[in-house]
A and B are shown apart, each in its own frame.
Chain A
Amino acid sequence: MTTDHDINALAGEFVLGTLDAAEREVAARRIVRDRAFAQAVANWERRLALLLLQTPSVTPPADGLEKIKTKISMAMEAADRANNVVSITRSRARWRAAAVSMAAIAASLVAVIGTREINWSNRPTTFVAVLQKDSMSPAFILSVDTKSMMLTVRPVDAKREPGKSFELWLVHDSLGAPRSLGLLPDDAPVTSPTLRKIKKSVFMGATYAVSVEPMGGSQTGAPTGPVVFAGKLLPDGI
Chain B
Amino acid sequence: MSSRDALTKNLQRVARHDTEAFDALYKATSAKLFGIVVRILRRRELAEEVLQEVYLKIWQQAGAYNPSKGSPITWMAVMARNRALDALRRVRMAGGDDCCDVEEIKSGEMDAFDEAELADDLRRLVDCLEALAHDKRDMVLLAYFEGYSREELSQRFKSPVNTIKTWLHRSLTQLKECLGS
Q: Which of A39-47, A176-184, A187-195 faces chain B?
A: A39-47
- Residue in A53, A90, A106 whose beta carbon sits within 8 Å of that of B77 in the complex: A53
B144 adjacent to chain A (CB < 8 Å): yes
Secondary structure call for the A interface: helix
Contact A111 B173, beta carbon cutoff 8 Å: no
- Residue in B18, B63, B126 whose beta carbon sits within 8 Å of that of A107 in the complex: B63
Q: How far is the CB of A234 from chain B (nearest CB, A)?
A: 11
A212 adjacent to chain B (CB < 8 Å): no
Secondary structure call for the B interface: helix
A60 adjacent to chain B (CB < 8 Å): yes
Alpha-carbon separation in the docked complex, A104 to B118 (Å): 30
Q: Which residue of B lies closest to A59 (CB)?
A: B31
Interface size class of B (residues with CB under 8 A): 35 or more
B10 adjacent to chain A (CB < 8 Å): no
The 27 listed contacts between A and B (C-beta, < 8 Å) are A9-B168, A9-B172, A12-B168, A12-B169, A16-B168, A20-B149, A20-B150, A45-B78, A47-B181, A49-B77, A49-B78, A49-B81, A52-B74, A54-B107, A54-B112, A60-B48, A61-B48, A64-B30, A64-B34, A65-B30, A68-B51, A71-B52, A97-B17, A107-B15, A108-B17, A111-B12, A136-B82
Q: Which residues of B are at the interface with A, using a C-beta cutoff of 8 A?
A: 12, 15-19, 23, 26, 30-32, 34-36, 38-39, 48, 51-52, 55-57, 59-65, 69-70, 73-74, 77-83, 85, 105, 107, 109-113, 118, 121-122, 125-126, 140-141, 143-145, 147-150, 153, 168-169, 172-173, 175-176, 179, 181
Q: Which residues of A are at the interface with B, using a C-beta cutoff of 8 A?
A: 5, 8-9, 12-13, 15-18, 20, 42-61, 64-65, 67-68, 71-72, 75, 90, 92-95, 97, 100-101, 103-104, 106-112, 115, 117, 135-136
